[in-house]
Structures are given as structure tokens and as C-alpha cells.
Amino acid sequence: MKKVLINKPIHRDAISRLSEEVEVLTPFKASAEEILEMLPDVQGMILCAGMKMQAAEMDQAKSLEVIGRHGAGLDIVDIKEATKRSLPVVFTPFGPTESTAEHAFLLMMAAARKLTLLDREVRHGNFHIRDRVVGRELKDAKVGVVGFGHIGQRFAEMCRAALNMEVFAYDPFVDRAVVEDWGAVYADEMVEMAEKVDVISLHVPSTKETHHLINEAVLKALGPEGLLVNASRGPVVDEAALIQALKEGWIGGAGLDVYDPEPPSNDNPLFGLENTVLTPHLASFTEEGRQRMGLMVAEDVLRVLRGEKPKYLANPEVL
């Protein structure tokens, strides 16, 4: 029987489905070194955040037939290296859409109303915080969506439907016609868009092109009332510039689910700022989202191991 290794817990239904056809290895408490020692004996790998599959790991996994990415982001897999080795990489492009979009919407609303600050102060007995904190409404505001893929469009849909927000979209990989047909304003320059919007929400992968896409110039253009939401990847934002922006009032606040690096250090200045809402990289972590992602990646891993064509293949060249 073939073996599939999973480095972190995924939905129980996915593990159950895998167990019908393969032996499932679940070393969730193992160290990175211990997991590496297990790689030579497995034919399938389901990869969650916290581990990478680069050339060195692929060298260890001499019997590997498929890499399954539990999620939509492919930055932790060296796709070129896998393709060179004729190794299929399957992933879950639709799995986290709803969960992540809802979480980004939550972060936006929480940042606008300074929710975490108010919650903390009330718990500490400071009911009179209400005398000094005033939030803001987002109805009819302008939102800039950076990355107009599945998650970005779903987030934009929520903003428009719930709050009648005007949507601007920045995505060099999406045609202007697609953006305009959707009903958004096409933006071809980040700073110019930042000057026009009240909120920027990020929905892009971590690549060389997106590294520090949000920098000092963008943050200053966003302005002292502007909000930044990041439920994509930490390196998309120049974190040092963001910290300065929040401290010095270049922007009004931020809602962050991701950091650079992860996990953030205990002395990260973001933790001491009142104008931040912070969560621990779990935007896609809902019961429904985890079940979708788990079953999607499980089924495609099994398809490859059976010699069948998978549904969601990141490197179709291998076929």
C-alpha cells in the first residue's frame, strides 16, 4: 500500500478518505528533522504551512509521486524543481475562497471600529474607553483590492453588496475588460490607487514581483484615515514601513493575518500598537473551508497515485 505523509492536521474527513486507499502518516508533533527522515518511504506528501518542499526535500523523497498543497498559495513549493522532476503538484485554488474573503472583511470592519482595542480595554475594566475612541463607517467608501482572483473578487463582492463600497482592482494579470465587466475600477498603478481609496486589501501570492508591493510610498498615499488589510502573505508588505506608518499616523490602522517572518517575534512592535487588529494566519481556518481544502487535495493526491489526471494541477507541463 502506498503511503501519504501529512505534516500538519487537516480535516478528519480528508484523512478518512485518504485512509480508504493509502496508508496515512500523520507525524503532527514531529520535528522538521524527523519528518525529513520519513520522506524516503512516502509516495505522496500533503503540505501545510510550516514546511517547504524545495530541492533538498525532494532529494530526500526518492519515492515521491505527488505533492499536494493544502491551500491556494504555492510559495512553499518549488514548482520549477518539481516540474523538472516530473512531479505533479496539486493544490486547492477554490478551497479557501469563502473563508479567507470573510476573514479579510472581518479584519477590515474590526480595524475600522478599533475592535480589539475596545475589547481589551473593557475586559480590563476601562468602560470609559468609549469617551476617547471613535470608529468610522465604511458605507459608500472606496476599497482597493490588490489581486483580483477568486478571493479578491469574493471580498470585493462582500464590500459592494454589504456596504455599497466602490471597488478598485489592481492586478497586472487580469485584463482591464474583466475588471470593468465585473463593475470595478481598473487600477494600473499602486500609489495612484492608494491615493483614491479608503481601504486596501491584499489577495496576492508571495512572489518576487509582489515582495514589498506595499511600501512606504503606498502607505503614505493611503493617508491618515486609510486602512490596510492583509490576509495574503506577510512579505507582500514592507513590515518595517508599516510599523512606522502605524506609529506616525501615515495610515489609520491595519488588520493583519500574516507577518514577515512567521511566526512573528514576541517583541514585534505591531503587538504594542492600538491601531492594529491581529490574527495568527488562520483566515482559511473554518470548518467548511478546511473540509473543502482537505477533500480537494486528498482526492487529487489519490488520483495521481492511481495514475489518473488530477483536477487542480499547478504544473500541467508534467502531463
Q: Which tens digits make up the pLDDT trace of 57-81? A: 999 999 999 999 999 889 899 999 9
Do 267 and 308 belong together in one domain?
no
Same domain, 180 and 167: yes
- Check 262, 288, 308, 317 and give the catalytic one: 262
Q: Are 39 and 20 in contact (CB under 8 A)?
A: no
Same domain, 188 and 309: no
Catalytic residue among 11, 70, 233, 303: 233
Residue 281 annotated as catalytic: yes
Residues 242, 161 within the same domain: yes
Residues 119, 233, single domain; the answer is: yes
What is the reported pLDDT for 123?
Answer: 97
Using pLDDT thresholds of 50, 70 and 90, give the confidence band for residue 117: very high
How many domains does one find in the chain?
2
pTM: 0.90
Are both 133 and 82 inside the same structural domain? no
Q: Both 195 and 105 in a single domain?
A: yes
> What mean pLDDT comes out for the span 162-182?
98
262 catalytically annotated: yes
- Model confidence at 50, in pLDDT bands (50, 70, 90)? confident
| From 113, 281, 290, 303, the catalytic residue | 281
14 pLDDT exceeds 90? yes
Judgement on whether residues 85 and 156 belong to the same structural domain of the protein: no
Q: Inform me whether the pLDDT recorded for 284 exceeds 90.
A: yes
What is the average pLDDT across 125-153? 97
Same domain, 154 and 219: yes
Considering the chain, what is the average pLDDT of its residues?
97
Question: With 90 as the cut, is the pLDDT of residue 49 above it?
Answer: no
- Residue 250, domain CATH: 3.40.50.720
Residues 115 and 257 in one domain: yes
Exposed (0-12), middle (13-18) or buried (19+): which is 69, by Cβ within 10 Å? buried
Whether residues 63 and 120 share a domain: the answer is no
Please indicate, yes or no, whether residues 80 and 228 belong to a single structural domain of this protein.
no
- Which domain does 244 fall in, by range? 97-278
